[in-house]
Each structure stands twice: as structure tokens, then as C-alpha cells.
Structure 1
């Protein structure tokens, strides 16, 4: 990690649902300020695409506000995956595609004939635009004249780093998240790059933690900074959640990165149990190492299952368990460990109180997470990062299901905190004193067995 150690680090954190700019005190990890906005998808062009100009204005306005309040000494970047910018000179050859758009499925057969095998990429075939290689292939086949103008393909964190510094770079955590573009075991680009003759379009690979360059002089003036500040190359958001833990725990250990997606990563785990048919894969950490990973769209599903979130009481939990009120996968088609299942409630959810409904959905997430651990491996401990760190029932249920210590991160935005550490620094380590107690409820074992039996059938 670079040891520039700026005092106040502004983290540009672009998630699939929301975008934030968070100011973090480098030596303590304390959040000093934040700005946020929805990450809106636009539909006014060739296909649904990311609002990069709206985000750009938001980022610059946020940086200016945070500079005025506390000062900004460095900028780091983290974004969701499955996203790339096709750069043409100083602009874009094509809009930045929304990975949830189904357009790439139109060329799926032709693409599948060219994509590398799972044994090489550890990247499963995923629907819509979730394989970044499939996105680029579809764009190249559908708009060949525009694609011919492409001068660089930038994964999303590095796109923003380029706009801030003018420096082009590639980076392994974004290249290695189910893109088909990377071969984790070899630490090189996959054979797809050669097959498609794209190698010249990817800039040199730089470490996530490298200072890519100083902020552009015109932006220094616009933001109101007293002088140039360093900008880190940037990192994929799930991998940002790993950064505080790398080297801090005895492997194997599991990190649960939560947000729109619930992503379980077991550092030091074995990739042998990964199943390409069940949305499990290898991510690549900031040091370029393969990390067995399994995931499902937990945040998106929870929002759909629970219109009104109310912290469940013991009576709520008991009612759900005793009456075996269950959410059964999957409510986001085509992804997660049960991609072919259609999500359903065992009971009419409209007959439940908000607390009961929240309890059932929380147990559902825990059961799904435990299923993912069969694919990515169970670590000696589990740490939950992000919004689900606020859901105590989820954590207690996962502790019961996994049988290892489960910790809740003290920071609800683990991605922002991890990205701030790209400039160096360490955080106080979580001790065993705040491990969650496993959930105890009458009939819980039978509830678990019933859920697992139904999803296995």
C-alpha cells in the first residue's frame, strides 16, 4: 500500500443503488462528512446507461463542500463491478452500459463460443450484462463503427480516476470480478482478450493502492483546494471491504460485503467447491490473489420483501419460527445459489406485521448466506460489512447456522472505509468480546431443516 498517508481522504463510493462521497480521517477511520445521491440509470440514448455526467457534477460539488468543511488531502475511489467505460480520446465512444440491461443476451450464443472456460476465468456465465466481457462483445458487435473509435477500455473505478487525473490504468480487482477478462490463477488477462484482439485497448495494470497521479490542475481550482492532492487508482467495492482485514486475521476468514449485493468472500479459502451454475466465482483481492466468492442480491431482495423495516421483537421471531413463515429463493432471477428457483412466500406476507415480515426476510438472508458458504468455504470467523451489519437478527442467525464467531463491522460503509486504506494506515482490530451470540428460538432447528429441504427439492 502506498504510504502517502493523507490526513483527510475523500472516498468516491459509487454503488449500484446509491453514490456517496465520504470524508474519512486517515489515522482513525472516523467519518467526518458525507454526501449522497441515488445512482440513477438513464434511458435517453442507445440503451440504459449510467448517468456519468450527473455523477461527475455530484462528485465535484461534494468534494468542494467537504474541502470547505474539513479539507481534502487525498482522493480514493471504489465502485460496483460489471461496468466499464469505452473511452474514445477525451470522451466516450458509447454510453456506460447498465449491467442490468438485457441487451447483451442478444449476442449470448456468439459470445459463449468465445468466452474462456470457467477453469481459466473462475467467472461463471451470468445473465444480462453481469459478465463485463459479454457487455463489451455486445457493444462491439452492435455498434462496430463506434467501437472502432475506442482508444481505451477502463473498468469503472479507473474511469473516474482517469477523469480526475488524466492517467489511464487497469486494475485487477475490477478486472477479476466475474468479467471473463482475467485468469486469476495466472494473474494475467484471459484468453478472451487475445481472441477478441482487445489487448491494445487495456492500459497497463496498476495496483489499486498506487497513487495514480495528482488531481488535475483545473479540478484543484474548481474544488477550491490549496494545491494538488494524490488520487488512488481505485478498487472494486466488494474488494474494498476486504482491505481492512487482509493480513489482520488468521486465514481462512470470511467477509460478508453487503449492499445491493450480499457477497461472501473467504480469504485463504479453496476455489475447488466453486460452482459456475450457482453464481460462485473467484474475486481477485488488492494483492492479485484469487478469493473464493459466492453471492446473491440480498439488499435488492430484502428491499422487495420488506416494505417497512421494523426491528423484530422476540415475539415476532417466535411467531415466524413457530409457524414456519419463510421466504424461499430466489426473488432476483438468474443469480445467487438458486438461479433457477422462483421466489415465493410460504404464507401470505400481507398477513404479517412489519416486524414479522422483517424477521422472516432476515432469516431468509441468513439461510441464503449459509448456503453461499458451502460454495466459497467457511472461514474460522465471519465479519459482516455494510448495511447488513445493522441487522442483528441476520448476524445472530448466521452465527447459529455457521457455528463460527460472527462479528458486525462498526462501520456501516465498509467499502468507503476500505477504500480510504489504499493510502496506508490500519484500523483497530475487532476482538472476540463483540462476537454475536447465536440465535436461540424454540423450533429453530426444525425451521432451518424445513427451509433447506424445500430449496433442495
Structure 2
């Protein structure tokens, strides 16, 4: 019996580490999820257990290669961004994998921005707000200042997707989706590394840039298969949409952060947009994508807990609540400031929470809609399954078609699609994404 050709994707989130096998029709034929206990860095701050992650890659692959009915054609990676692995000449990590939420020293931050033109001007060039450790280039700057011995013995600083690729290919490379994503390393006004990268001696610590659709031979034992460079997860999640839709659209990718991507907005970021948490990501073809961020998933989680505690209801109940357009809503505001005693019941409170979040989303998404011919918004992730949120979004964007998009594992699929021609002889399927259209009758508007 002929073996099924597959691509292996490692999809590494902060919480869940997933392994997928996709066949040539992009159906998931095997998946596994693992969680690792965090460890701490030398300051006692929580961080990823890099050794557990490394070992799990090799252990998983040994298992995959024992499967008799499949043939591995390629392997690729998508992981969270803003995380760097510093390797020495032998490829061994020199430090823990520092958490991107680690507090950044204020004097060091001021020293950096003062030297390189001030926060406002620098943010316009780097297409990113000032985010401390979340600007991963700042982690490199810090390492050079605080631990010059480690910096000197470092061969390369690899973003996490490229470190994982390096484990199997033995080739160190940089990838534009990681370098171009709120790192402070890339100058979007010149489309090249920012001048500070060269002036501070950082450039030689960055591996050569390699296109995201290029592959390398494997050094890990097995058959003749290709290794991708790895991708930043936010950019990877956009790929299935870019290959499926060509008319202008916005994707709102919802999770802890709700990020609105507009691949059809080519206007440079303004200082005002940066102040409102807009930034640029990079497509896997190296094209800037204007995006805006909202911390709505986190806020939803906190407020649902508050509602369920106050009304003594299980938090899970709110996952499947029906939308009731007859519930009166108060003018939009910050739900955290509202008194729960003002609501007759938990359903009314929850509708108000979703309305407050949807109005914030309207503003956030509006920042990247402006000046473009976008006629469709696709919502994926957790909120796409929330009928109250989806109906309210449709109500707030009456001129734009609103769709809930469902697709199994967009991030992992994006990493597979990025190197499609190198492993898959079949043409791209045209049913990768399922859409559900939301239309709202205007008489249901609460204002």
C-alpha cells in the first residue's frame, strides 16, 4: 500500500505545543498537544523550558518516522514571536529563553531611544510602539550592555522559529516574518535593518536572511525531506487567507490579543496610529501588513470571571449564550468600571461586556480600515465562535460584510502552505476556510 505524503508542523504557543501531520489536501491526519512546566531565568522570572522543547522535537519525530503508512516530505515550524535563542559556535544555547513579558530596565530603554532619535521618530521607522522586551531587538541590546561576555561568545541570535528549524537543518538563518515583527531591528522606511543594528555590532550576530518559502536539507536522520525556515505565528495565520482571497479584506485574529491585519493598506504608519497600538507585521513574501492590537481576549477572560462570581454562574455558560437583540445596552464604556449590581442578570451583563469589547474592536479595526477599499472582515480564533460578539460587530460595521471564519489550525496550516511547492504536487485546495456570514437588521441597533 502506498504511503501517504505528509508535512510535519510544530506549532509552538506560549501554553500549548502542538504537532500536526497534514496530507496533500491539507487535512490533519495526526495531532498531539503537550504542555511543559515553565522554568525560571537567573532573575527568577518565568520562562520557557528550552531543553524540554528541544527534546520534544526529537522525541516526536522519532515517533513520526516509525509510522509505516506515511512518508514525511517536509517539516516546518510556527511559534510565538519576540523570543530569541542565543547560540554559540556549537549551536548550544547560552542563556535561558527569556520571556518577552520580562520587565525592561527603564534607564537602558531611555539610553537607547535618546541615542537613536527619540521614541516617536524611532517608532515610525521600526513600525512598532515602544514595547520593552516585546521589541525583541531590545533584548539583544540589553544582553550586550549587561552581559558582554555572553554577547561576545554568541555566534547567532535566532528567533524561536528559526532556532527550531536549526535543530533539524543545522543551518542558522533569519526570517523576515520574525525580524519584521515589532522587533526594532527592521527599518520600514528603508526596508532594511535599522542603522543601530550595524552601529551596535548586532548585525553580525544575526544569521543570514532566508526567504520564508525556501527549504533546507535535514541533518536529523530519516528519509529525504525538507526543512522550512520557520515562521512567526501571527504572519503564518494570515497565509491561508492570502492564498484563498484576493479581494481586499481584513482579518481579525482573536485570542489573548485581537489583532486586525490589513494586507491591503500600504500607507506608512503615523505617530498617532502608533500611539493607538498600531504596528506592522510582515507577510511571508516580505510585504508590510498594517495591523492594530487590542488586549480584548485577556479582558474578556477577566470580566467573565467577575460576572460568573457575582451572579454565581459557571463561566463556561457564556461560551454558548444566544444573542438577544432586545436586551437594552448602555452607551459603550470600559466594562471593568461598571457596577454589576446595575444589571438585572448575568445575561444582560454579558451582552454589555461584549458590546463594550465590540466597540473597542470597531475603533481598533477602524484604524487599519481607513483609506482602503476593504469590503469584508474575517474573524478567526475564539471570538469567531461567539455569536453575541459576531452580531455586534456586524451591527457596528454596517458597510462591511462580516464573516466568522473557521479553519482547523490556521497557524499550522500557514506554515505548511508557505512551502507548498517544495513538498506537495497537488494544487492548493479552494475549500481551506469555512465562512459564516453575519447580517444584522438595522432596527436592532441599540443607539
- Category of TM-score, reference length = shorter chain: 0.7 to 0.9
Q: Do residues 125 (structure 1) and 133 (structure 2) align?
A: no
The 5 Å alignment of 1:101-116 reads 101-105=102-106, 107-115=108-116
Q: Is the 8 A contact 1:41 1:51 kept in 2?
A: yes
Match of 1:88 in 2: 88
How far apart are 1:312 and its partner, in Å? Answer: 5.0
**Cα distance, 1:327–1:413 mapped onto 2, change above 3 Å:** farther
SS of equivalent to 2:10: strand
Match of 1:212 in 2: 216
Match of 1:405 in 2: 401
**Which segment drifts farther, 386-395 or 230-239?**
386-395
How far apart are 1:177 and its partner, in Å? Answer: 0.8
Match of 2:226 in 1: 230
Q: Is the 8 A contact 2:266 2:288 kept in 1?
A: no
TM-score between both structures, scaled by the size of structure 1: 0.81
Q: Do residues 324 (structure 1) and 330 (structure 2) align?
A: yes
**Cα distance, 1:109–1:433 mapped onto 2, change above 3 Å:** closer
Q: Could you report, residue by residue, the CA deviation over 1:54-97 in whole angstroms, capped at 9, with x for unpaired residues?
A: 22233333344445556343211111111111111221222211
Match of 1:58 in 2: 56
Q: Is the 8 A contact 2:82 2:183 kept in 1?
A: yes
Match of 1:436 in 2: 438
Match of 2:296 in 1: 298
How far apart are 1:348 and its partner, in Å? Answer: 2.2
Distance 1:138 1:352 in 2: 52
Q: Do residues 417 (structure 1) and 413 (structure 2) align?
A: yes
Aligned residues: CA RMSD = 2.9
Match of 1:376 in 2: 368
Match of 2:359 in 1: 367
Match of 1:142 in 2: 146
**Cα distance, 1:315–1:238 mapped onto 2, change above 3 Å:** closer
Q: Is the 8 A contact 1:327 1:360 kept in 2?
A: no
**Which segment drifts farther, 403-412 or 58-67?**
58-67
SS of equivalent to 1:102: coil
Q: Is the 8 A contact 1:405 1:435 kept in 2?
A: yes
Q: Could you report, residue by residue, the CA deviation over 1:27-47 in whole angstroms, capped at 9, with x for unpaired residues?
A: 322122222233654225344
Distance 1:415 1:432 in 2: 15
Distance 1:17 1:48 in 2: 13
How far apart are 1:251 and its partner, in Å? Answer: 4.5
How far apart are 1:141 and its partner, in Å? Answer: 1.4
Distance 2:125 2:369 in 1: 20
**Which segment drifts farther, 425-434 or 133-142?**
425-434
Q: Could you report, residue by residue, the CA deviation over 1:306-346 in whole angstroms, capped at 9, with x for unpaired residues?
A: 24132354476644xx1539672xxxxxxxxxxxxxx7241
How far apart are 1:357 and its partner, in Å? Answer: 5.4
How far apart are 1:368 and its partner, in Å? Answer: 2.5
Distance 1:43 1:64 in 2: 29
**Cα distance, 1:203–1:432 mapped onto 2, change above 3 Å:** closer
Give structure 2 stretches of 5+ with no counterpart. Answer: 306-314, 421-426
Distance 1:355 1:33 in 2: 39
TM-score between both structures, scaled by the size of structure 2: 0.83
SS of equivalent to 1:311: helix
**Cα distance, 1:87–1:430 mapped onto 2, change above 3 Å:** closer
Q: Is the 8 A contact 1:171 1:207 kept in 2?
A: yes
**Cα distance, 1:136–1:40 mapped onto 2, change above 3 Å:** farther
SS of equivalent to 1:56: helix
Q: Is the 8 A contact 2:406 2:433 kept in 1?
A: no
Match of 2:100 in 1: 99
How far apart are 1:197 and its partner, in Å? Answer: 1.5
Q: Could you report, residue by residue, the CA deviation over 1:256-301 in whole angstroms, capped at 9, with x for unpaired residues?
A: 2233321111011133464121210111111111111101233333
How far apart are 1:355 and its partner, in Å? Answer: 5.0
Q: Higher Cα Rg: structure 1 or 2?
A: 2
Match of 1:170 in 2: 174
Distance 2:391 2:266 in 1: 26
Match of 1:78 in 2: 78
Q: Is the 8 A contact 1:396 1:439 kept in 2?
A: no
Match of 1:255 in 2: 251
Equivalenced residues, count? 414
**Cα distance, 1:287–1:41 mapped onto 2, change above 3 Å:** same
Match of 1:450 in 2: none
Q: Do residues 264 (structure 1) and 260 (structure 2) align?
A: yes
Distance 2:323 2:434 in 1: 29
Q: Is the 8 A contact 2:407 2:434 kept in 1?
A: no
Q: Is the 8 A contact 2:36 2:52 kept in 1?
A: no
Q: Is the 8 A contact 2:83 2:98 kept in 1?
A: yes
Match of 1:28 in 2: 25
Match of 1:333 in 2: none
Give structure 1 stretches of 5+ with no counterpart. Answer: 1-5, 221-226, 329-342, 447-457
